[in-house]
Chain A
């Protein structure tokens, strides 16, 4: 038994376990309420509670209201800078995206393991990040074709391209455009998974080092633990940066759809 628990599988933390309705099928698809879904729900509820602080609507804001207003102002400024005046109508979507990913990343990092709970970072699953990326990409496509019709294809021909170059440039631009949802989804998934794996591996070094004796504990366990502290800080930063990158790239792509080049 002891030998079994000492062996740490760093990927185990990403396992999805059905919590409710393991056999809940709709039209042949299993939609069991899993630990992943639970943490999505927790993220949504925490975000909703956070936003309640911004609903006090006081003329002179308190700290909480000020924080909420800072976040909305941040997204508003980002869209205004990247898309312009028409960017404001995307504030609800980009804000939801940014805050949802940010809260999910941060909640996944909570050290709840010490009280026996296991936080689950659903942004480390490409099924989730992929869907979010596809939603962003769909908005780009819908807005682009809605506003510009077939003129939207001129996005793939940068200004000033010499006529003979168009047959070469067009496929390159088209492919780089089509790769966007993949890069968008994979970036977040890889960053979150790598960070969590790293923390898990380092923590297994700490545990296994001390299990192997005081010498290994001092030699391997202590430096690993110190490194972990640093990496934890880095992961908090990465959690915020990845959410920001996702929202920023989504708004840049929306800018392409709104304004072409």
Chain B
């Protein structure tokens, strides 16, 4: 077994060269290169997580914008609905008031017409009375040669007309 047989002659060389070469590995590779490699990995991880965070915040902003847009949209719709309702109400009210006005005018015309008719009838009745009185005066004067005064004839006609 050379490991034991050569121990006395080679241990110093083995230990010396191992320390020199492992020292080189430790200081150049371990201390020099490994931290840089790990930095690169760390930087990459950081960049990835930053990008993910940015994407997340962008998505949140988009969600927020959509929410706001929806709210605005709803508000607009409500406002439009209210406008329509108001216009409908106004139209109804104006229709009603116009109808009422027209009704009132028609009523007034009707009343006026009735009054006119009444007046005409009264006038006509008075004319008939006076004509009847004159006729009665004439008739009595010619037939009985009795002169009847205008007032008498008129009251007699009135009496006869009241009796029908």
Number of A-B contacts (CB under 8 A): 138
B15 and A59 contacting across the interface, CB-CB below 8 Å: no
B19 at the interface (CB under 8 A from A): yes
A57 and B22 contacting across the interface, CB-CB below 8 Å: no
A72 and B37 contacting across the interface, CB-CB below 8 Å: yes
Give A69-108 as 1s and 0s: 1 = Cβ < 8 Å from B's Cβ atoms. Answer: 1001100100000000000000111011001100000000
B145 at the interface (CB under 8 A from A): no
B37 CB contacts on chain A under 8 angstroms: 51, 54-55, 68-69, 72
A76 CB contacts on chain B under 8 angstroms: 38
Q: Chain B's interface: helix, strand, loop or mixed, by majority?
A: helix
A32 at the interface (CB under 8 A from B): yes
A40 and B17 contacting across the interface, CB-CB below 8 Å: yes
B35 CB contacts on chain A under 8 angstroms: 92
A143 at the interface (CB under 8 A from B): no
A29 at the interface (CB under 8 A from B): yes
A37 and B13 contacting across the interface, CB-CB below 8 Å: yes
Interface size on A, residues (CB 8 A): 53
A210 at the interface (CB under 8 A from B): no
With A14-B2, A61-B44, A125-B3 given, name 12 new contacts (CB 8 A).
A14-B1, A16-B6, A36-B14, A48-B25, A51-B33, A65-B40, A92-B26, A92-B34, A95-B29, A122-B18, A124-B3, A128-B14
Given the interface pairs A34-B13, A54-B33, the reply to whether A96 lies near B25 with Cβ below 8 Å is: yes
In the assembly, what is the distance between CA of A68 and CA of B29, in Å? 12
A128 and B18 contacting across the interface, CB-CB below 8 Å: yes
In the assembly, what is the distance between CA of A119 and CA of B43, in Å? 40
Given the interface pairs A37-B21, A69-B40, the reply to whether A93 lies near B30 with Cβ below 8 Å is: yes
**Chain B residues within CB distance 8 Å of chain A:** 1-3, 6-7, 9-19, 21-22, 24-26, 28-31, 33-38, 40-41, 43-44, 47
Q: From A135, which residue of chain B is reached at the shortest CB distance?
A: B22
**Chain A residues within CB distance 8 Å of chain B:** 11-12, 14-16, 18, 26, 29-34, 36-37, 40-41, 43-44, 47-48, 51-52, 54-55, 57-59, 61, 65, 68-69, 72-73, 76, 91-93, 95-96, 99-100, 122, 124-128, 131-132, 135, 189, 193
B13 and A47 contacting across the interface, CB-CB below 8 Å: no
B9 CB contacts on chain A under 8 angstroms: 30
